[in-house]
Amino acid sequence: MIGTDGDQLVAAGGPAIILVEPQLGENIGMVARAMANFGLEDLRLVNPRDGWPSEKARAAASRADHVIDAVRLFGSVEEAVADLTYVLATTARSRDSQKPVRGPKSACAQLRGRITAGQPTGILFGRERFGLSNEEVGLADEIVTFPVNPAFASLNIAQAVLLMSYEWMQSSSDDAETPRFAPIEADPAEKGDLHRLLDHTEVLLDRLGYFRPPERRVALSEKLRTTLTKANFSRMEVHALHGVLRHVEHRLDGDGE
């Protein structure tokens, strides 16, 4: 891609930027502009409040039309990350989740290594007013948070995307402290496959009476999903676990010896 001044821009690629229920078209446009500044192009929107397309977004994007034109819409976070194998959730708040927490530099080094290995990745950004829900953070592999003033930790969406996009570009520098990853022997599972495994597991556990008492169901389900998400299963492992669950179901139905 060539810039308007003839300079060579960063090649297309990098993590998907996923905005969850963004409210204002102007904010989406400023996110697109920040992404274009640092060579990112894959912008995904989950239920934008004011609909799509948005002329306000295009105007605020300041000629980052290639990002605006390629925007994809999704009805849920699960759908937006289904084709990805590694997802970061951005948050300024401490969470009860036991997921690993990284700063922007470490997070982008991790993204760089995984993308170099051919793995599709993404970063979740929450709503302008209250960020991501605990359930949405639970869909990610790790958390990334910014080293800001704890007395005023709130960033708007465009600022947060700009910081991560900048660190993404910095991670490509020759002198960046980018880890050298060993070749990955097994393809990691896509999030869509993992979510189906989690649903399958919950259905089976329901049959076995695991979620008791009823008022503890949500907490038990969240802990189970967090544990299984942290395992970083490969595609083959997810398929194998589906086979195990089907075998248990057959025994419960009296179909097996």
Cα separation of 69 and 58, whole Å? 9
Among 50-59, 63-72, 210-219, the least confident range = 210-219
Instruction: Judge whether 132 and 80 are in contact, CB under 8 Å.
Output: no
The DSSP bridge pattern shows strands 43-46 and 72-74 to be parallel
Across the strands, what pairs with 101? 143
| Bigger pLDDT: 75 vs 96 | 75
- 3-state SS, residue 29: helix
Instruction: Judge whether 203 and 221 are in contact, CB under 8 Å.
Output: no
3-19 pLDDT per residue, tens = 333 343 334 479 999 99
Rounded to whole angstroms, the maximal C-alpha distance in the chain is: 73
Q: DSSP string spanning 71-124?
A: -EEESSHHHHHTT-SEEEEE-SS--S----EE-HHHHHHHHHHHHHTT--EEEE
* Of residues 107, 113, 231, the one with CA closest to residue 183: 113
Tell me the torsion sign for CA atoms 42, 43, 47, 50. negative
Instruction: Judge whether 120 and 58 are in contact, CB under 8 Å.
Output: no
103-158 pLDDT per residue, tens = 999 999 999 999 999 999 999 999 988 899 999 999 999 999 998 887 787 789 99
184: confidence class by pLDDT, cuts 50, 70, 90: low
33: confidence class by pLDDT, cuts 50, 70, 90: very high
In the predicted structure, residue 192 carries a pLDDT above the cut 90: yes
Phi, psi torsion values for 142, nearest 5 degrees: -145, 165
Instruction: Judge whether 45 and 72 are in contact, CB under 8 Å.
Output: yes
Residue corresponding to tokens 């192009």: 41
Q: Mean pLDDT over residues 56-71, rounded? A: 96
Q: Class assignment of domain 16-170?
A: alpha beta
Q: Mean pLDDT over residues 153-179, rounded? A: 81
Fill in the DSSP letter of residue 53. S
The boundaries of every CATH 1.10.8 domain in the chain are: 191-252
Cα separation of 168 and 254, whole Å? 54
Q: Structure tokens of 76?
A: 């849920």
Per-residue pLDDT, 10: 38
Highest mean pLDDT among 92-96, 212-216, 234-238: 234-238
Per-residue pLDDT, 8: 35
Per-residue pLDDT, 1: 35
Mean of all residue pLDDT scores within the chain:
87
The boundaries of every CATH 3.40.1280.10 domain in the chain are: 16-170
**Segments in the chain forming alpha helices (H):** 25-37, 55-60, 65-69, 77-81, 104-116, 134-137, 157-170, 191-207, 217-230, 235-252
Q: Mean pLDDT over residues 159-173, rounded? A: 91
- Which CATH number is associated with domain 191-252? 1.10.8
Question: How many other CB atoms sit within 10 Å of the CB of residue 250?
Answer: 12
Per-residue pLDDT, 11: 40
Cα separation of 40 and 254, whole Å? 53
Q: Is 232 left (phi over 0), alpha (psi -120 to 50) or beta?
A: left
pTM recorded for the entire structure: 0.78
Per-residue pLDDT, 231: 85
